[in-house]
Amino acid sequence: MFHPRRSLQDLVDGELSDRRRSVVEHHLQVCDTCSNDVRGLREHKGTLLGLGSPSPDPEFQRRLLSTGPGPSTGSAPDRPGLQPDRAATIASPKPSRRLRLVAAAGGSAVLAAAVLTGAYVVGSGSDPAAGAEAGSTTPRAGWEETFRGTPAALDADQVEVLRTQGWSCPGLTTLGLTLRSAEGLTIDGLPTLELVLEHDGDRVTVYEQRAVDGRRRTPPTNAVTGRTVAEDGFEHVGGLQQDLWVHSGEPWTVVLRSSSATYTVVSELPPADMPRTLQQLVTTEYAQLPTVAQPRNGSTIDRIMRGLSIMVHPQDP
């Protein structure tokens, strides 16, 4: 039986079309697993809506909002599949505005984005090894079957083929984004999918890189430049697992690493959309995992709620 995991969160948020909602609701009538998942999502959403504004631990908040060193201004290394204009996006960033915005607005969108993003990481725990194994073999096979040689432009049908063979290909449709272009690249020796998404003049570019034969870069690569997040001056948002790096500015950039993939997101959307963007990435990744490899640590909302609890009471067990 096919399980429409990609659509469950959208159903709870009321963002499905009438036709798609009817299909999903019909499935819920015959599938106890998905029905229970939706019930849990609705309960968590109700709990979140009922929460007051938490007061994060001051030291933890300082770490989230601290200004890190700027990225290297040198030219990006010559990497296969990497175009110079992409490297320029991160090589000459605008000055950080986070502390200035927080000082001016207190409970600003940037603070909310930083806290919720940090909560997601802190509540994450460890990803299952089974997911890593699944992500390191099947996607590479799909990559080689779809096209040969990079860089290579992809059409919508080829993107769908990659999805069926293990790639996430996140469309971020709940943010109102539509796919404008897709390209296959090789960056730092890793197969990389570039998706350019747009909405009302705002552009979001998502790079999806998959580990091959268990090889992962530590620290991970910023797919825009081909350099590591350390070389580009990204700020690590601490937690139980070091899988999130943030670079402030316009556009803002996030590198998110799961057990089987690394995503680089370059977004012109407001910083307040950062948590929702990451949620969609993780939801899409989760939908690609086999049933036996589903994360043991719960949904994205579970992780954010656990993370908020740890942030407010960091010394509690």
Q: Is residue 280 part of a domain?
A: yes
Q: Above 50 in pLDDT, residue 162? A: yes
Q: Report which listed range, 61-70, 136-145, 240-249, is most confident.
A: 240-249
CA–CA distances in Å: residue 114 to residues 111, 214, 238, 309: 5, 31, 11, 15
Q: State the pLDDT at residue 194.
A: 93
Residue 130 and residue 21 in one domain: no
Residue 273 and residue 203 in one domain: yes
CA–CA distances in Å: residue 104 to residues 65, 99, 268: 14, 9, 21
Q: Is residue 87 part of a domain?
A: no
Q: Is residue 220 part of a domain?
A: yes
Residues 35, 252: Cα–Cα separation, whole Å = 36
Q: Above 50 in pLDDT, residue 97? A: no
Q: Which domain holds residue 283?
A: 111-312
Q: Is residue 245 part of a domain?
A: yes
Q: Which residue has the higher pLDDT, 74 or 264?
A: 264
Q: Which residue has the higher pLDDT, 42 or 307?
A: 42
What is this structure's pTM?
0.56
Residue 313 has a CB neighbour count (10 Å cut-off) of: 11
Residue 221 and residue 307 in one domain: yes
Residue pLDDT, tens place only, 274-306: 777 777 777 676 655 544 344 444 555 555 555
Beta strands in the chain (DSSP E): 152-154, 178-187, 190-199, 202-210, 221-222, 227-228, 235-236, 244-247, 252-257, 261-267
Q: Above 80 in pLDDT, residue 193? A: yes
Q: Is residue 116 part of a domain?
A: yes
Residue pLDDT, tens place only, 7-59: 887 788 777 888 888 888 889 989 988 888 888 777 766 655 544 444 445 55
Q: State the pLDDT at residue 264.
A: 92
Q: Which residue has the higher pLDDT, 284 or 69?
A: 284
Residue 155 and residue 298 in one domain: yes
Q: State the pLDDT at residue 98.
A: 41
Residue 146 and residue 23 in one domain: no
Split into its structural domains, the chain has a count of 2
Q: Is residue 104 part of a domain?
A: no
Residue 267 and residue 182 in one domain: yes
Close Cβ partners of 138 (under 8 Å, ≥ 6 residues apart): 165, 166
- For the chain, report the end-to-end CA distance as a whole number of angstroms: 40
- The stretch 71-95 carries a mean pLDDT of 44
Q: Domain boundary at 14, 35, 50, which? A: 50
Q: How confident is the model at residue 106 (pLDDT cuts 50, 70, 90)?
A: very low
Q: Above 60 in pLDDT, residue 141? A: no
Q: State the pLDDT at residue 62.
A: 54
Residue 32 and residue 125 in one domain: no
Q: Above 50 in pLDDT, residue 110? A: no
Mean pLDDT over each residue of the chain, to the nearest integer? 67
Q: State the pLDDT at residue 277.
A: 79
Q: Is residue 60 part of a domain?
A: no
Q: Above 70 in pLDDT, residue 210? A: yes
Spatial contact of 68 and 234, defined as CB atoms under 8 Å apart: yes
Q: State the pLDDT at residue 235.
A: 83
Q: Is residue 300 part of a domain?
A: yes
Q: Which residue has the higher pLDDT, 111 or 272?
A: 272
Q: State the pLDDT at residue 90.
A: 42
